Amino acid sequence: MTDPAALSGSDLSGIDWEDAFANGVHIPGGDAYPARWKKRAAGFRKNARAQVDLPYGTGRRDILDLFLPDGAPRGLAIFIHGGFWKAFDKSTWSHLAAGPLARGWAVAMPSYTLAPDARISEITAQVGCAIAHAADLTDGPIAVAGHSAGGHLATRMVCEDAPLPDPVADRISSVLSISGVHDLRPLQLHSMNEDLRLDPEEAIAESPALNRARPGLPITAWVGARERPEFLRQSALLAEAWRAPLVVEPERHHFDVIEGLADPDHPMTHALLKEDADS
C-alpha cells in the first residue's frame, strides 16, 4: 500500500484520476438520470406518509425527511445521498424509501452542507447529528445505507471514532455501503479537491478503509459490475479491510445500482434490513 504521507502525482502518475472517478460520461444516457431521479422522488412524496424538512441543526441544509410506514415502525432505515459531497440533497432520492417502507421500516433521508461550504470531516459530523435526531423520532434498530459519497458517510458512522452518541451507535443493526468511496487519498489528486480541500491528515482520518469499524456489526459493500474500476476497487478495499461481504451486482452501473432499495423484495433491501425475504 502506498505510504499515505508520500501520496503525490509522481507516485501515481500512471493513473488518470479525473477519469477514474468519472461516472456519467461512461454511462449511456448518463445526463438524463438526475432529472429522472427527481421526477420519481417527487411522485413518491405525493402519496407517502412523510414529515419533511425536519430540522436537526441550525444550518440551512440541516434538515431531513422522515417517511413512515403503516403501523408502528419495525425500525429506522437511514439513506445518505451521494454527489461527491458537493451535489444533490435529500429530495432527489425519496423513492428509494419504498423498499424499507413496504417492509414496515421508517426511513430518514438527511441533507447536509455541501463542499466547499463544509469540509468532509464537518459533513461527517453533520450526518452524525442527523442520525441522532432521527433516532429520537423512531424506536427500534437502525439500518444505515448510503450511495457513493453517501456510502462513505454510512461507513464513517460505524468507525470507532464515529460522531454518534453511544446509545444511538448501539442501535445500529447493519450498514450498507453502495458504491462507496472508502479511501479518500486519491481525491487529493482530482480537480474536485479545490472544493473538498482534503489534506493528507483529513484524507486518512476520513477514510473508513484506513480506520477500524465498531466490532460485531453486519456491514455489506455493494457495487455494480459495470462501474468504473476505481469504484470496484473502493468497495473491494472496504470488504478486505473490514472483512465484510462484497456484492458485485451484475449489469448495474453507478447510476442504477441504487434502484434495488425501491423494491421490498430486492436482495439489496434485505441486505440493508438483515431480514429474510419471507419475513
Q: Are 150 and 81 in contact (CB under 8 A)?
A: yes
Q: Could you tell me whether strands 219-224 and 246-249 are parallel, antiparallel, or unpaired per DSSP bridges?
A: parallel
Q: So what's the pLDDT on residue 183?
A: 98
- Is pLDDT above 90 for 275? no
CA 192 vs. chain centroid, Å, equals 19
DSSP H helices, the chain, are 17-20, 33-47, 98-102, 120-137, 149-156, 166-169, 193-196, 200-205, 229-242, 267-273
Supply the CATH classification number for the domain 14-272.
Answer: 3.40.50.1820
pLDDT tens-digit map of 99-157: 999 999 999 999 999 999 999 999 999 999 999 999 999 999 999 999 999 999 999 99
- Is pLDDT above 70 for 1? no
For the chain, give every domain's residue range: 14-272
Q: So what's the pLDDT on residue 13?
A: 52
52/49 Cα distance (integer angstroms): 10
Q: So what's the pLDDT on residue 15?
A: 86
Number of Cβ within 10 Å of residue 180's Cβ equals: 32
- Is pLDDT above 60 for 7? no
Q: Could you tell me whether strands 142-147 and 106-110 are parallel, antiparallel, or unpaired per DSSP bridges?
A: unpaired
Predicted model pTM: 0.93
